[in-house]
Amino acid sequence: MKRRLIIGISGASGAIYGIRALEALRESPDVESHLVMSPSASRTIAEETNWTVKDVKALASVVYNYADIGDAIASGSFRTAGMLVAPCSIKSLSSIANCFGDNLLTRAADVCLKERRPLVLMVRETPLHAGHIDIMQRAANSGAIIMPPVPAFYSRPATIDEMVNHTVGRALDLFDIDTGLIKRWTGKSQSTQ
């Protein structure tokens, strides 16, 4: 049976992270992607990318309705490898940190926490005030992994795509999924290899 990974895309800036995760998972024959997107994600996709919502949905193995809190990923009996929310808005983070599962994205995240499955939140906001930091800590105390999309420069990325790939690859590493997106650190300068 294929491993199931839930991908949540909220309305925060950085929809490309969720899209790139779906693209990478599509190339992983042993992983099935389960997508849930907030309504605001549609606008962010249109504003920030050349993708259509229809094309993003076509990347996923299964697509869920954000408003249907009774769908499969809302139950702990539906086994998954966990969930990546990329990007994760402060609104979604707040709902997750406060166990407020009023939509399928936040309910699925809460299920991952209660079932002790990995939940990686690619929180996308800057600068942060004390309230943001407080809810990140609350989510982390419940078991979430807080992973803002901070680029790594040791691989000397030359394009935005390379930075996005590395960040998404590192996020998928947290689920033990190696997509080949990362130039891994070897202990030697990348410029001398």
Binding residues for FMN: 11-13, 38, 89-92, 124
Residues belonging to the binding site for dimethylallyl phosphate are: 154, 170
Q: Distance between CA atoms of 10 and 123, rounded to whole angstroms? A: 10
Can you spell out the DSSP letters for 34-91?
Answer: EEEE-HHHHHHHHHH-S--HHHHHHHSSEEE-TT-TTSGGGSTTS--S-EEEEEE-HH
Q: Distance between CA atoms of 124 and 89, rounded to whole angstroms? A: 6
Residue 139 parent element (H or E) = helix 130-141
Residues belonging to the binding site are: 11-13, 38, 89-92, 124, 154, 170
